[in-house]
Structure 1
Amino acid sequence: MSEQHVYIVLSDTGTLFTSLIKTYTRAPYNHASISFDSELKEMYSFGRKKPRNPLRGGFVKENVLTGTYSYYPETTCVIYKMKVTAREKEKMKRILNVFIRNNDKFLYNFLGVVGVSIKEPIEFSNSYFCSQFVAEVLKRSGIRLWDKLPAMVTPEDFRKSERLELIYEGKLFEFGSVKKQIP
């Protein structure tokens, strides 16, 4: 089987909401996304449905140039590449298509974020927070990076995974393939 890759993007927009999270976590990044292309033209996560409203969240297809990130040009990030088999990647895309087709049925798991802080998983059907979603996609595809429930996975857990290869750290809009897309 040919070698394939997926990309895990951890980011920090610097908003009030993310600053509050960072006060507790003391981690440099508090948002996780998954992408299937090195240009990050399509990233998926659970986050803001409306860029200016952190309380209206759910499943989102993120676009660096026109979505929430476009409002926060000082966003910092770390980008990891992970080797996967063609079969694993195909499974991930099938799982993702379920989220895409049922986009309006998913909610942001605000209580799940609280659950992580008290070390007690809080899960609801069709409700995820960003790192829980990415971990869930990986788990359902047969990829286990940790011995914990997806509802307990934080962006910091991705930074500690030995299976992920760091390819970039810095400002999101300075990342080579993103920078090339800016008109």
Structure 2
Amino acid sequence: MKYLYILLLYLPSGFGRLTQRMTHYKYTHVALSLDDRYEHFYAFSRLRAKTPPISGYIEEKRIYYTLGENVPIYTKIFKVPVTEAGYRRVKRWLAKVRRDPEIMYNLVNMLLLPWFGGHPVYKAYNCGEFIAKALKQAGIELDMPYYKYMPKDFDRLLGEYAIFEGTLDNRGREGMEDDFFRETGRREYVCKTAYIVRELLYRQLTGHASKGFRPEKVRFVSKQPTLSCCHAATLNQ
């Protein structure tokens, strides 16, 4: 028997507070850990601390959840039992997502989901969709389509597996030098956000990426924050 650790989290930002009001739920983010040290996480979220619309697949560190501030990391953790085969499928799927240049963040669905219930978009995920897909890969039966999941829905789906609710230690500073905390110029911010919205609308209408899709337009050209070598290697085992 193996375990996946699903964490519900609150990100202390204006976007986080807006999400709380939209969903009427205290946690605004959901991530996956492959072990119970809770130091490295797989998720779909902002790629830099101050640019929430420019998001995507990211391998997070604990300090990212503070956005660099001295604030508590509020969380609820679920320890989900899965088979050995299911665990391997999840790791293979994570590695596939990590390598796929067409995959992007589903910003439009994230903003509209609380009112319209969500719908699938070609190779685009928000944090809830991503974790729901990971659980499905592991063999966990979902109680609704993956693209309808918001953080609060995992509380219902995984309630029996809850093992902790409280705050994580945020004293470590590992990750403060990562690209995640780099400043982003206003022009780059605006141009990337506009391109992301345009590409998502195209995918919703056509069911595929635009012919001239440019992956660097939906993420940052500089090196994305990654796991340590030993953690990254586990995805390919």
Alignment TM class, shorter chain as reference: 0.7 to 0.9
**Change in 2 beyond 3 A, CA 1:152/1:18:** same
Contact 1:63 1:69 in 2 (8 A): no
Residue matched to 1:38? 36
User: Residue deviations 1:107-128, cap 9 Å, x none?
Assistant: 2111112342223323222211
**Among the aligned pairs, what percent are the same residue?**
24
Cα gap change, 1:28 to 1:68, in 2 (>3 Å): closer
Structure with greater proportional strand content? 1
The 4+ residue runs of structure 1 with deviation greater than 4 A are none
Q: Which of 129, 145, 150 in structure 2 is aligned with 1:149?
A: 145
Identify the match of residue 157 of structure 2 among 138, 156, 161: 161
- Contact between 2:80 and 2:158, CA under 8 Å: does it hold in 1? no
Question: Counterparts of 1:82-161 in structure 2 under 5 Å?
Answer: 82-102=80-100, 104-146=101-143, 148-161=144-157
CA contact (8 A) 1:5 1:36 kept: yes
Structure 2 residue matching 1:54: 3-state secondary structure? coil
5+ residue gaps, structure 1, are none
**What is the TM-score when the length of structure 2 is the normalising length?**
0.67
Pairing 1:51–2:49 present: yes
Q: Give secondary structure in 2 for the equivalent of 1:143.
A: coil
Q: 2:73 — aligned with what? A: 75
2: CA distance between counterparts of 1:168 and 1:139? 23
- The 8 Å contact of residues 32 and 41 in structure 2, kept in 1 or not, is answered as yes
Distance 2:23 2:41 in 1: 24
Q: Read off the aligned partner of 1:49 and give its amino acid letter.
A: L
Letter in 1 for 2:117: E
Which one of the candidate residues 8, 27, 44 is aligned to 2:6? Answer: 8
How far apart are the structure 2 equivalents of 1:48 and 1:164?
29
- Over the aligned positions, Cα root-mean-square deviation in angstroms equals 2.0
Aligned residue identity for 1:30: T
Q: Deviations over 1:130-175 (max 9, x none)?
A: 01100011113332131x111101111111125642222112326x
Deviations 1:19-48 (A, max 9, x none): 001112111111000111101232111001
Deviates more, 1:162-171 or 1:39-48: 162-171
Q: CA deviation at 1:55?
A: 1.6
1:172 corresponds in structure 2 to: 168
If each structure's helix is expressed as a fraction of its own residues, which one has the higher value?
A: 2
Q: Provide structure 2 residue ranges, at least 5 long, that are not aligned to the other structure.
A: 175-237
Q: Residue 173 and residue 70 in structure 1: after superposition, are their counterparts in 2 closer, same or farther (change >3 A)?
A: farther
- The amino acid of 2:68's aligned partner reads Y
SS at match of 2:88: helix
| Contact map agreement 1:51 1:68 (CA 8 A) in 2 | no
- Asked if the contact 1:7/1:35 (under 8 Å) is kept, the reply is yes
TM-score, normalised by the number of residues in structure 1: 0.85
Task: Note if contact 2:11-2:67 (Cα within 8 Å) is conserved in structure 1.
Answer: no
The alignment covers a number of residue pairs equal to 173
In structure 1, distance between residues paired with 2:67 and 2:12: 13
1:82/1:161 Cα in 2 relative to 1: closer, same or farther (>3 Å)? same
